[in-house]
Amino acid sequence: MIKIPGLIDPHVHLREPGATHKEDFDTGTASALAGGVTLVLAMPNTRPPIFDAETLEIALQAAGQRARCDYAQYLGAGPDNARSVAALARQAAALKMYLDATFGQLRLDDMSLWHDHFSCWPGDTPIVTHSESRSMGAAILMAHIYGKPIHIAHISLREEVLLIKAAKQHGIQVTCEVCPHHLFLAEGGIPLAPAGDDCCSDGLSAGRSEVRPRLATRADVEALWENLDVIDCFATDHAPHTLVEKDGENPPPGFPGLETMLPLLLTAVSEGRMSLDDIVQKSVINPRRIFHLPEQPETWVEVDENAIYEIKASEMHSRCGWTPFEGWKVKGRVCRVVLRGKTAFEDGKVVAETGYGRNVREI
């Protein structure tokens, strides 16, 4: 049995308010605890989106009543809220800007809309962008011009990791995260190691493999692994949609990920593809520093690094009821999670109650 600090996931979609048939603060944070995650940063692309004082209050009320692990809520950048969200910065996880195709209504198509946000946001926390490929390059340039730290969500391409590497070498304040699905799956949902058995080697159906950014080529995935030292954080981009939705006419993009991240990463450790220290750096130390998050006292995760088992959605806590990693054989199980001195998860069961979670930005 090994003990590691509670993980921080800087990128989750908990669907509350507006789509609680997919997830809510209760089931989403139960899923977090089952995955060894004790602090989540919740994205603002809900219905309504979280982008002013009133909607922030709605999300924080819901989280205060139902969250089982600690949390902070993102604010979303809209076309005309740069000043008003900047005034709420201290209450928020950070600012999220959607600059590319995404699920939900928060999207800033016109680059001239970006300026106001980059100039107004105070910069104590980063501006997190969903920006792929060339728009990522443009966003890094604009953040640099305005002297603001920028954090690139879910990088997936070779050209992205190489540009971030070059930007860092030039002293630009840029950080980034990678999701397990962009490290372990290639386009079509084809598994790359650790692949488990033949059961899943056919990949995923078109609807189930829909995710933004899209699953990339094998060469892109290899470039992410080769440049793991450039990547600051692991993040799930936990984006639950139900199976009926994923298998239906217009499958929405997104994968659940909170309960599979640590087992997949531990499997990579057991195969010598990364170290346990990489997990602690990228899932605890770096996100805490980048987002200025407080330490969680008496908080840890007990892991059986030798347990071998199959990933099964039927054993998970997310309301969405599926996982793109169904049937994968992994090595490394979350046995117990202690959050602020209390057992929060043990023997497959979440024991932390709804409302136990704290808003780490409460002032």
Residues in contact with Zn ion by CB under 5 A are 237
SS3 83: helix
Q: Kind and range of the H or E element at 3?
A: strand 2-5
Residue 187, classified by CB atoms within 10 Å of its CB into exposed (0-12), middle (13-18) or buried (19+), is middle
Out of 23, 237, 245, 259, the residue judged to bind ligand NCD by CB under 6 A = 237
CA angle 284–287–291, rounded 5-degree value: 140
**Contacted by 253, from Zn ion, ligand NCD, none: CB < 5 to 8 Å by type:** ligand NCD
Task: Please provide the distance, in angstroms rounded to a whole number, between the alpha carbons at the two ends of the chain.
Answer: 37
Nearer to Zn ion, 144 or 212 (CB): 212
**Contacted by 322, from Zn ion, ligand NCD, none: CB < 5 to 8 Å by type:** none
CB atoms within 10 A of CB 74: 26
Segment near ligand NCD (CB under 6 A); pick from 101-109, 192-200, 223-231, 305-313: 101-109
Out of 75, 82, 152, 239, the residue judged to bind ligand NCD by CB under 6 A = 239
In the bound complex, what is the minimum distance in angstroms from residue 36's beta carbon to ligand NCD? 21
Contact between 71 and 41 under an 8 Å Cβ cutoff? The reply is: yes
Rounding to the nearest 10 degrees, give the CA dihedral for residues 145, 230, 303, 36.
Answer: 20
Q: Note whether 18 binds ligand NCD by CB under 6 A.
A: no
Q: Note whether 266 binds ligand NCD by CB under 6 A.
A: no
Residue 52, classified by CB atoms within 10 Å of its CB into exposed (0-12), middle (13-18) or buried (19+), is middle
In the bound complex, what is the minimum distance in angstroms from residue 287's beta carbon to Zn ion? 15
SS3 98: strand
In the bound complex, what is the minimum distance in angstroms from residue 212's beta carbon to ligand NCD? 4
Q: Could you tell me which residues come within 8 angstroms of residue 133 by beta carbon, excluding any fewer than 6 positions away? A: 157, 159, 160
Token pair in block for residue 113: 């809309």
In the bound complex, what is the minimum distance in angstroms from residue 246's beta carbon to ligand NCD? 11
Distance CA 220, CA 155 (A): 10
Segment near ligand NCD (CB under 6 A); pick from 57-65, 97-105, 286-294, 297-305: 97-105
Q: Note whether 136 binds ligand NCD by CB under 6 A.
A: no
Q: Note whether 212 binds ligand NCD by CB under 6 A.
A: yes
In the bound complex, what is the minimum distance in angstroms from residue 154's beta carbon to Zn ion? 7
The amino acid present at 30, given as its one-letter code, is A
Q: What share of the chain is helix, strand, coil (3-state, %, to 5)?
A: 35, 20, 45
Nearer to ligand NCD, 45 or 81 (CB): 45
In the bound complex, what is the minimum distance in angstroms from residue 238's beta carbon to Zn ion? 8
Out of 211, 215, 268, 316, the residue judged to bind ligand NCD by CB under 6 A = 211
In the bound complex, what is the minimum distance in angstroms from residue 145's beta carbon to Zn ion? 25
Out of 102, 260, 283, 296, the residue judged to bind ligand NCD by CB under 6 A = 102
Rg (CA), the chain: 19
Query: For residue 321, what are the CA distances in angstroms to 4, 35, 211?
Result: 28, 15, 17
Out of 5, 7, 12, 13, the residue judged to bind ligand NCD by CB under 6 A = 13
**Contacted by 45, from Zn ion, ligand NCD, none: CB < 5 to 8 Å by type:** ligand NCD
Site residues (vs ligand NCD, CB under 6 A): 13, 45, 102-104, 130, 211-212, 237, 239, 252-254
